[in-house]
Amino acid sequence: MTPPMDKGTQATSQVTSAPQAVSALAQPKLTKITKRAEFLRAANAKRQAAPGFLVQARARNDGDLELRVGFTCSKKIGNAVARNRAKRRLRAVARAILPHGGLAGWDYVLVGRPAVTTVRPFEDLCCDLTRALALIHTKSLT
């Protein structure tokens, strides 16, 4: 439904599109890791423990600029409800931190920890991921 027009204005036939956010253009695209082989390749690469979770990361070196991320929580976390909550929290942390702290062309897997991932404050989880990424990337340069 179109809004009513004032008597003094006339409709224009131009369609204006909403401007795209500048920050979205500068950041690498986040995609999901879905195949088991990709999770295994990340598991055999660099690891960095954090109080709230474990981060596994690897440089793909395939020329693709996508930043890929995967999440896993074992049954040690708890029942299905607890595992899903832990993965939801890990996804939120990854959405908040990886576009700024991650490197394009890398795969990251966040592994939930029992009795920690679901109860640790969100701000602390964000700080954990920021520190873990800094350590992983400084190790990769040496």
119: domain CATH number is: 3.30.230.10
Q: Is there a domain that residue 108 lies in?
A: yes
Q: Is there a domain that residue 10 lies in?
A: no
Residue 10 has pLDDT above 80, yes or no: no
Q: Is there a domain that residue 9 lies in?
A: no
Q: Give residue-wise pLDDT tens across range 72-91.
A: 999 999 999 999 999 999 99
Domain extent, residue 136, equals 29-141
Q: Which residues is 107 bridged to in the sheet?
A: 58, 68
**How many independent structural domains does the chain possess?**
1
Mean pLDDT of 3-20: 47
Mean pLDDT of 114-133: 95
Greater confidence (4 vs 121) lies with 121
Q: Is there a domain that residue 14 lies in?
A: no
Residue 61: per-residue pLDDT: 86
Q: What is the pTM of this model?
A: 0.77
Q: Is there a domain that residue 15 lies in?
A: no
Q: What is the Cα–Cα distance from 107 to 109, expressed in whole angstroms?
A: 7
